[in-house]
Amino acid sequence: MIKRRGTWSSSYSAPEKVVMTLSLKDRALLVKLFYKNGDCAAIAVKEFRTLKGLRRGSSPMTAFGLKKMIDKFEESGSFDVKCGRGRKVIASTSVEDVATAFQEASSSALGTCSARGIS
């Protein structure tokens, strides 16, 4: 139970968590601290907070988030943040096959077909 201005309240609303994005330098620093501290993500995050003067709980990344970032870094060798799911590359032969199919369909004697040209 929490007392607020003379009344007792059983509910407490925690302040909203502010999400910060990390710069490339901060990501590199976190990875450096991770490897420096014997692959311990919790200690790396704690040291990062100390270096940046952040309070406990206000870290832009959890130990679990750091571990995931390290795994992606080891896999790709890059700190790049990939936005969204990305688009799959379409082979040029597939594009040519579709263009040929449209041209054949439009010139066939079975019927007319209108399609936009593919460039």
Render pLDDT for 1-37 as a digit per residue (tens, 0 to 9). Answer: 555 555 555 554 544 444 457 788 888 888 888 889 8
Q: What is the pTM of this model?
A: 0.48
Helices 24-36, 41-52: axis angle to 10 degrees equals: 130
Q: What is the pLDDT of residue 56?
A: 75
Domain definitions of the chain by residue range? 24-76
- Scan for tokens 């579709």, then name that residue: 98
Residue 46 · residue 30 · CB < 8 Å? no
Mean of the per-residue pLDDT values for the chain? 72
Give the integer Cα–Cα distance in Å for 63 and 71. 12
Render pLDDT for 94-114 as a digit per residue (tens, 0 to 9). Answer: 677 777 777 777 666 555 556
